[in-house]
A and B are shown apart, each in its own frame.
Chain A
């Protein structure tokens, strides 16, 4: 039986280099530098951002990975849930702000 989104597939992330190794190597280096280091943002802050993005993009692999990463960088469930709310409210806001476009067009059609 085969399914989309098998949790074990996360381990195969490295396989994206199978047919384009140089590009995958570039990506993983960039990925590690952007998420795995304390820079102007701490690793903990980066993990919370990644958790929020994982929800916004609805990626179950990333949700699992960054739930663990948030705990391993010292966040607690309240902070993690607030990050998800930021993602949710951004998506809602992005949807709602498009209603300005609707209203602009409406005003054109109904002068």
Chain B
């Protein structure tokens, strides 16, 4: 449900007085954060997931049933065919591989020579499909055949943080899934098959510097488990949905927001991903990013109506105002954070 305009105005006013107004902060830094392109079309095709992670900004779980319709998938492929400038398709969820049209979407985009990225949670290779019970053990071979870039969360190179965040036993399963991806050539220097890992803090603190952590992951995963990957992306936890609830329950929400606000970095702000990406929900509605999608802040056209893939006008999309809000401080803290990791 979208907030009524009056309530939104009151909230904006309250925030400005709490010193948190993101748009004001951006303006004070002398920045004008307009969209620059739509290089990436990010589709959130389902909220169904085999896992229930503590920090999940999607609130995904095995109980969710939202699925993108076959028409919306067709329409997304048609948009890629029409717009050569949209070079990348980023498929996310939930666990997007659980969607019945997942393979068709990947094949369609590859047939159009698009770079395809899949946000793959690793364990979905090993768990039965939460609805049909089917095995998804074929995924590493499928990804390799279509030369998909695989992007997978592994909160740490040890079980302690990984299991605390993603559930007990997830670390061991993730290692097995990584072994299967490596066996297909993923992560090998010369295979061209990209396997990128994602680190995010397990609690309300900022990620460590990406380069140092990547070196630690590389050394430890190779030495202890014989595993390889390409790059590590560090991502800041967004103070929304499940993670926000956890922060509020444990009395840490205000302190976390203060930390994010204090770490505002104008250089990171310039690189926010909403300037080059558009996010689509399972009903085809457009958003500036997956986070705005989850807090119900749609991208709006010139007349204020929410935009959708069914009436897609690239020029109108590029002239939109990005809907910034409090959670945007999660993208601009420290070295910045995006679906591709740090932005500085």
Contact = CB atoms under 8 A, between A and B. Distances in A.
Interface of A: 42, 44, 68, 71-74, 76-78
Nearest to A74: B208
B205 A74 contact: no
Contacts of B203: 71
A42 B206 contact: no
B258 to A, nearest CB: 9
Nearest to A69: B205
A73 B209 contact: yes
B207 A72 contact: yes
Contacts of A71: 201, 203, 205, 208
Nearest to B208: A74
B30 interface: no
Given A74-B212, A74-B216, A68 B156 contact: no
Nearest to B263: A72
B212 A44 contact: yes
B160 interface: yes
Contacts of A76: 156, 158, 160-161
Interface in B190-242: 201, 203, 205-209, 212-213, 216
Contacts of B201: 71-72
Bin chain B's interface residue count.
10 to 19
Nearest to A8: B255
A76 B208 CA distance: 11
B224 to A, nearest CB: 13
A68 to B, nearest CB: 5
Interface in B47-95: none
A44 B160 contact: no
Interface in B137-161: 156, 158, 160-161
Contacts of B206: 72
B333 to A, nearest CB: 11
Contacts of A73: 208-209, 212
26 contacts: A42-B212, A44-B208, A44-B212, A68-B205, A71-B201, A71-B203, A71-B205, A71-B208, A72-B201, A72-B205, A72-B206, A72-B207, A72-B208, A73-B208, A73-B209, A74-B208, A74-B209, A74-B212, A74-B213, A74-B216, A76-B156, A76-B158, A76-B160, A76-B161, A77-B160, A78-B158
A64 to B, nearest CB: 11
Nearest to A77: B160
Among B201, B207, B209, find the residue whose CB has the most chain A CB atoms closer than 10 A. Answer: B209
Given A72-B205, A74-B216, 14 more contacts: A42-B212, A44-B208, A71-B201, A71-B205, A72-B207, A72-B208, A73-B208, A73-B209, A74-B208, A74-B209, A76-B158, A76-B160, A77-B160, A78-B158
Contacts of B156: 76
Nearest to A47: B208
Contacts of B161: 76
Nearest to B161: A76
Contacts of B160: 76-77
Instruction: Kindly name the residue among A71, A73, A74 whose own CB sees the greatest number of chain B CB atoms within 10 A.
Output: A74
Interface in B68-125: none
Interface string B152-191: 0000101011000000000000000000000000000000
A41 to B, nearest CB: 13
Nearest to B206: A72
Q: What are the 10 closest A-B residue pairs judged by CB atoms, nearest first?
A: A74-B208, A74-B213, A72-B206, A68-B205, A71-B205, A73-B208, A72-B205, A74-B212, A72-B208, A76-B158
Nearest to B214: A74
Contacts of A74: 208-209, 212-213, 216
A104 B156 CA distance: 52
A87 B288 CA distance: 49
Contacts of A68: 205
